[in-house]
Structure 1
Amino acid sequence: MIIISSQAPEQRDRATNDARKEATLASWEVGMHGLDWLTALVQAGKARQLSGNGYPSRYTARAADVLPLLAGGAPPNAAGSPYHPRQVTLHPDRMAACPADQELTIDAWDQS
């Protein structure tokens, strides 16, 4: 489960459940290779991985580097990957209101 939030990690950790829901820009479930897009951002220096244990694996990145990947109305897909995102929820109004330099929190929860 991937959740992209407009909150910085510290804000997200302190927020109530309602505040977390209101700050969610996008979420979806994904299978194998579903984090390839995020790994590519880290390798390009456009995202930073803060934790990697899956409960959650946490990343930060600027809105300008993440939100264009969602502009097509679906989560990014790794080239040649057969994974199919499920339960996709996008909030275009919230994404549009997000400044380009906003630090986003991206949590990837291992649901196994």
Structure 2
Amino acid sequence: MSFWITVYLNPDADDRNAENTLASWEGPLHSWNGFKDLIAAGKLTQTRADFFPSLYRGLACDVLPILPVVKRPKISAHYTPEMLQERITRCPPDAELGIMIWDMG
């Protein structure tokens, strides 16, 4: 099963726009090493579980170290891997991040 996963700044904003995106990729959720460990350790909070997308929140100091290598998403006209890496580098460790997960079927 494949998922579209996006990690972004400002999880309270109604609009999850491209400017807030730190990482976005498609792949199996089980291949995101460390994701389930953060949930088990109470470092990620699920804020939406009814249908999709599933939404989680966590601190940058916990989430950013487990992000996969930054690659260009298949359908991104809004950012490059270099731009995303720059955003990740500038992100404060205490920033609260949102994680949005869509089931791609």
Would you say the 8 A contact 1:59–1:106 is kept in 2?
Answer: yes
With the length of structure 2 as denominator, give the TM-score of the two structures: 0.75
- Residues 86/94 of structure 1: CA separation in 2 closer, same or farther (3 Å cut): closer
User: Whole-Å Cα distance in 2 between the matches of residues 96 and 54 of structure 1?
Assistant: 32
Alignment root-mean-square deviation, CA: 2.6
The residue that corresponds to 2:55 in the other structure is: 58
**How many correspondences in the alignment?**
95
Runs ≥4 in structure 1, deviation > 6 angstroms? none
Q: Residue type of the partner of 2:87?
A: R
- State, as a whole percentage, how many aligned pairs show the same letter: 36
Q: Which runs of 5+ in 1 are unaligned?
A: 76-84
Residue in 2 that maps onto 1:98: 91
- State the one-letter code of the partner of 2:26: E
| CA distance in structure 2 between the aligned counterparts of 1:36 and 1:51, rounded to whole angstroms | 21
TM-superposed CA distance for 1:86, in Å, is 9.0
Please report the TM-score for the alignment, with normalisation by the length of structure 1: 0.71
Contact 1:60 / 1:105 at 8 angstroms: preserved in 2?
A: yes
Report what 1:79 is aligned to.
none
| Residue identity matched to 2:28 | G
Alpha-carbon separation, structure 2, partners of 1:26 and 1:74: 9
Counterparts of 1:1-112 in structure 2, within 5 Å, are 1-8=4-11, 10-11=12-13, 14-15=14-15, 20-31=17-28, 33-34=30-31, 37-70=34-67, 74=69, 87=73, 90=81, 91-112=84-105
Secondary structure at 1:92's aligned position in 2?
helix
Q: Give the deviation of 1:48 after TM superposition.
A: 0.7
Cα separation, partners in 2 of 1:26 and 1:35, compared to 1, 3 Å: same
User: Structure 2 stretches of 5 or more lacking a match?
Assistant: 75-79
